[in-house]
Structure 1
Amino acid sequence: MIFGQIRVLISKMSTLRVSLVPDAVQGMKQLDREKFQRTIAVPVLHLCSDKVAKALSVCKPYILKLENFKPVQNLCDDDKFDRRIYLNPLKVECWTDIPEEVRQSFSSCDVSEDNFISRQIQLKYENYSYEDIFKAVLPEGEETVSGFSHIGHIIHLNLRDHLLEYKTLIGTVLVDKIKTCRTVVNKCNIIDNTYRNFKMEVIAGDEDFFVTVKESNCHFQFDFSKVYWNPRLCNEHDRVLKTLKPNDILFDVFCGVGPFAVPAARKKCRVFANDLNPDSFKWLNHNAEHNNIKKTFFKSYNLDGKDFICNIFKKFLIDCCKKEEVIHPHAKIYVTMNLPALAVEFLKYFNGLLDDRELFDKFHLDIIVYVYCFAPGDDPVEIAKKMVIDNIGRDVTSLILNVFGVRNVSPTKEMMKVTLKLTKEILFGVSDQDCNEPPSKKKCVESATEN
């Protein structure tokens, strides 16, 4: 799907369309559109217009499918027939190449070998898809362009080293072939763990990084070169948003430009959204305003994740216990932590976060945490569970409600979502067995890894 996310496995393309591209283009590094011209003989069925619909239903697997080419055309130079259907020359060369059962079906619409002729046509660059071109041009036997993301008018690639010498051609072809594409960028390094963005190089089109994206019935605008946005996560955003109900509370610890926070506030949840990246913070507030989010439902912060948990989240819980914050009696509190490279390391700040023992019996909050992580290995579910337990610093096995595979990052790494119930025993740092003991007064460790 062009809008949102495109994932194209070009290595699995049909050999049909590749073989129609001239061999001369193999290894081309600078795009020469003229070299894609080729004249080929194509089998054609001549028939009357009233027989076309039925004939098409019979020969559908054998129709010639190319870009900017109509497989059914008017026929003006024949007194008997007024339509022609172009067939795939790599599947059909002569009448007997058509299976017997298909030929018998043709007879019911008065089509026989007498209707079958050959005709010369000229193919051009405009007739080939970008899949056809990449398969024909790029090195045979090597990994090719395996997938890319579409963010507004920008196509984002992550080219392997052996494809870098073809990058200009790849970018130009994508601008040519995808109507909504004006800019093609290639990722130059891994995501920066502090601000969740990466360096990129424009390899074709305009150097314009300002994009508008629609997701979860909201419009998001941002500078793609300075913030993090992954269209592959749109389904995950929707999954979480569906669990939220009006009057619920959302603390989004690493909110980015607001894919969780803005739609949640639009649903009339109270949202506390935080991101350390000042550009993300800027566009977060822009998107809240752009989507007409009322300030009564939305507060934003430009803090480190540790400070957001240990100050903003903590104060809210204390105020709830003291009745200084009033929430709906059936409301739940949700915490989203979508920084998969580091988020689990921030779980330790929940363990013993509250140190006022007098508030323990006044705590009656239902809190659910969604923490995301990368789980490398053969058993990502168990690996994700262990990461959560190790980082929160206590056995929370019974409180892990679900472990869900969000997406495959590489052949050996999965992005996982762990759903954890955050109890008052965790927050006050006491054991389930002995809630009468005073809680451990743990302070946030200043040397922790920064968001």
Structure 2
Amino acid sequence: MSEGISKQLVLPKGRGFGLKDGVLDKDAFRKVIPVLAAQVPAEKAGILLKAPALKRSLIDVAKVKSVARGPNQDRLVLLKFTNEADLPPEALSFLHSESAELVSHELSFDYDYWSTDEVIHAILPEELEAGAPSGFAAVGHIAHLNLRPEYLPYKHVIGQIVLDKNPTIRTVVNKLDNISTQFRVFSMELLAGEPDFVVTQSENDCRFTFDFREVYWNSRLHTEHERLIHKFDKDDLVADVFAGVGPFAIPAAKKGCAVLANDLNPSSHKYLTLNIAENRVGTFVRPFCEDGREFIRRAFNRAWDDPLAPVPLPKISRSEQKEIRAGQRPAPAPGPRRNRIGHFVMNLPDTAILFLDAFRGVLSRANTDGRDLSGLYDENSMPMVHTHCFTRELEPEKAEVDIRQRVEEKLGHPPGEDTTYHWVRSVAPQKEMYCVSFRLPPGVAFGS
């Protein structure tokens, strides 16, 4: 692109550009730029586009096609110059040899042409450009921003720009404070769009419906959800202590696992129950709404007293169905119902480690009301416990030491040698999220 066109396509920056009385003025972003065009019959346009002599002269403006319609079915091959004098001699000579007529053509750029970042940088004063908000988290049709205080005077304009530039977004909100409530939800304000906070989010081939104001959901954890679910075998029974709306429980059930899923938040439990039904995994997931410690203490007895559905039978072909009806092969029989918990998931990183003390004596006769579960759980068949947590230690070695000490303090027993520490993500400049996975020590579970 010629220097002249480049300069004209740079939006002015400075306090108040594109704003009229604090409101976005979309007309301010309209630009009309004249460029040279080679007018030729339609059948010659391809020749010009492929010609080596014009390779460096064709227009190269983003989102602008190289060919436009001219009068009388002719085509205009757009060039990146505004004046004929700027054309290289070889380009000019080639155009003359092809009997191309050089004409002026106007390119129109309006508000829709510019990107979100370009418009936001244009409306902000220069001193705020460097740290301008450049992204958002999308949850269903909601765009979630986390604006710093200095950008709050422009919050509604920024919200409107995000709404305009993203066709799948219908609602834009801003987080008001840190997660501090019992149910890990934060207050938010509507910046632009519809006041519709019930979303449907797709993840791991499942659909989750929930009210974003009432439950905790973090789209950045989808990789962690997938990683942990991959560790489950389809014949496993999983206990999800802080299940939320089901991002672990429901994909695990789709895989074939049986799941005891719990969340103390009544809204999370409501949408968990809804999502179980909508994803058609009701046979394999039982939802609960109780304190995490109570759920852990009761989970083993529940699985023993009322085993969960067996592993789903494999699909059989039509030919196999015919053979079964003809008595040529036996019909597949369901396996045993599942009563041994293979995994506990504890995805409450702020406080999950504090709940580990609930495993002390969880399999003792005192907690099982006399049930003898020692035949079901031994040193090699104790459940794996996957506990998400935060640490202020940034170096992996120091983070592992910190996490291990806190786990041991709550368990009253060191985790085994097979314990793993998986880094999940950086939450803040001095805050890392990990998942520590260990096999529940028999001395803890069967102890007093």
Residue 125 of structure 2 corresponds to residue 129 of structure 1: no
Distance of 1:316 and 1:131 partners within structure 2: 53
Residue from 351, 357, 372 that aligns with 2:388: 372
> Aligned in 2, Cα 1:124/1:272: closer, same or farther, shift over 3 Å?
same
Q: Is contact 2:237-2:342 (8 Å) kept? A: yes
1:46 Cα deviation (Å)? 6.8
Give the structure 2 partner of residue 354 of structure 1.
Answer: 363
1:261-320 deviation per Cα after TM superposition (whole angstroms, max 9, x unaligned): 11111222110000010000000000000111133x111110111111122246547999
Q: Secondary structure at the match of 2:398?
A: helix
1:216-264 deviation per Cα after TM superposition (whole angstroms, max 9, x unaligned): 1111111111111111111211112222222111111111000111111
1:384 Cα deviation (Å)? 4.5
1:180-229 deviation per Cα after TM superposition (whole angstroms, max 9, x unaligned): 11110101111234112111100101101111111111111111111111
Higher relative contact order, chain-length normalized (CA < 8 Å, sep 6+): 1
> Aligned in 2, Cα 1:172/1:250: closer, same or farther, shift over 3 Å?
same
1:337 Cα deviation (Å)? 1.0
Distance of 1:247 and 1:18 partners within structure 2: 64
1:408 Cα deviation (Å)? 2.1
- Give the letter for the 1:363 counterpart: Y
> Aligned in 2, Cα 1:237/1:392: closer, same or farther, shift over 3 Å?
same
Residue from 148, 163, 170 that aligns with 1:182: 170
Give the structure 2 partner of residue 338 of structure 1.
Answer: 347
Q: Secondary structure at the match of 1:399?
A: coil
Alignment of 1:145-294 (within 5 A): 145-294=133-282
Q: Give the greater-gyration-radius structure (CA).
A: 2
Give the structure 1 partner of residue 286 of structure 2.
Answer: 299
Distance of 1:85 and 1:267 partners within structure 2: 55
Residue from 413, 419, 422 that aligns with 1:400: 419
1:392 Cα deviation (Å)? 3.5
Q: Secondary structure at the match of 1:344?
A: helix
Greater CA drift, 115-124 or 183-192:
115-124
> Aligned in 2, Cα 1:18/1:120: closer, same or farther, shift over 3 Å?
closer
1:149-169 deviation per Cα after TM superposition (whole angstroms, max 9, x unaligned): 111111111111111111110
Residue 402 of structure 2 corresponds to residue 386 of structure 1: yes
> Aligned in 2, Cα 1:327/1:422: closer, same or farther, shift over 3 Å?
farther
Q: Secondary structure at the match of 2:185?
A: coil
Q: Secondary structure at the match of 2:23?
A: coil
Give the structure 1 partner of residue 27 of structure 2.
Answer: 34
Distance of 2:7 and 2:338 partners within structure 1: 60
1:18 Cα deviation (Å)? 11
Corresponding pairs, count: 393
Greater CA drift, 218-227 or 240-249:
240-249
Aligned-residue RMSD, C-alpha: 3.8
Distance of 1:293 and 1:245 partners within structure 2: 16
Q: Secondary structure at the match of 2:439?
A: strand
Distance of 2:374 and 2:263 partners within structure 1: 30
Q: Secondary structure at the match of 2:267?
A: helix
TM-score normalised by L of structure 1: 0.75
Give the structure 1 partner of residue 433 of structure 2.
Answer: 415
